[in-house]
């Protein structure tokens, strides 16, 4: 993730949510399985961070992914406005969060993606028990998990476990467009004794 406004939102929202809970940086870092140094960088807006790390921070704070990356109430566009969260190496490659909902410990996210010819997105594993549902609208998407490879043409869909590292690739000559729902199972927050 490398969009400046999103990083600024994350910085403010993480710091605010942590302070509201009375948590130290060390406690949040432990609960989210990130280093304290990484958390300090996130809170000061000096650290580029993966989407998987943001999922872990959101879960540890009891927030949805959208609550973490969107502007706080009263700042910027309305909460339901689409928000570009990922920018690929090529200008036409981007991941846009459309909406997010957290209910009973699980978060469901609606995304619209574009991957330009020759570009790719490499994802870290989501929390155990997480899944994605992908529907390709244009082009051909190559989705890979380890040795397993799926080639999805326009009109095809796939549901897969996203708690394993995976990648999206475009090996074709036209931009791949797809929608996806992400169902993120919230990891348990470890008890720190304080």
Calpha distance 46→4 (Å, rounded): 10
**At residue 82, does pLDDT exceed 90?**
no
Calpha distance 42→29 (Å, rounded): 11
Q: Once rounded to an integer, what is the mean pLDDT over residues 95-107?
A: 83
**Token pair for 142:** 């190559």
Which pLDDT band, with edges at 50, 70 and 90, does 157 fall under?
very high
pLDDT for the residue numbered 3? 64
**At residue 161, does pLDDT exceed 90?**
yes
Calpha distance 176→191 (Å, rounded): 43
pLDDT for the residue numbered 176? 99
Residue 24 near residue 15, CB atoms below 8 Å: no
Residue with tokens 């008890």: 191
Report helix, strand or coil for 141. strand
Calpha distance 10→62 (Å, rounded): 14
Tens digit of each residue's pLDDT (9 = 90 or more) over 167-192: 999 999 999 999 999 998 765 554 44
Task: For the chain, state the CA radius of gyration.
Answer: 17
- β-strands 120-123, 166-169: how paired? antiparallel
Q: Which domains does the chain have, with CATH numbers?
A: 4-69 (1.10.260.40), 83-185 (2.60.120.10)
Q: How far is CA 41 from CA 28, 38, 116, 175, in A?
A: 13, 5, 30, 34
Lowest-confidence range among 5-14, 39-48, 66-75? 66-75
């Amino acid at each position: 993730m490398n969009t400046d406004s999103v990083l600024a939102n994350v910085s403010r929202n993480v710091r605010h949510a942590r302070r509201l809970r009375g948590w130290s940086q060390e406690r949040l870092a432990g609960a989210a399985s990130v280093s304290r140094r990484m958390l300090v960088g996130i809170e000061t807006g000096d650290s580029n961070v993966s989407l998987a790390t943001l999922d872990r921070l959101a879960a540890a704070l009891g927030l949805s992914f959208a609550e973490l990356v969107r502007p706080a109430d009263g700042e910027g566009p309305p909460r339901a406005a689409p928000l570009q969260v990922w920018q690929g190496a090529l200008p036409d490659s981007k991941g846009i969060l459309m909406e997010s909902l957290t209910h009973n410990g699980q978060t469901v996210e609606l995304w619209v993606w574009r991957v330009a010819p020759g570009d790719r997105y490499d994802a870290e594993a989501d929390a155990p028990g997480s899944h994605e549902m992908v529907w390709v609208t244009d082009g051909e998407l190559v989705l890979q998990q380890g040795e397993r490879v799926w080639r999805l043409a326009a009109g095809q869909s796939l549901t897969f476990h996203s708690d394993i590292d995976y990648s999206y690739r475009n090996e074709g000559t036209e931009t791949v467009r797809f929608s996806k729902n992400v169902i993120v199972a919230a990891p348990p927050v470890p008890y720190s004794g304080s």
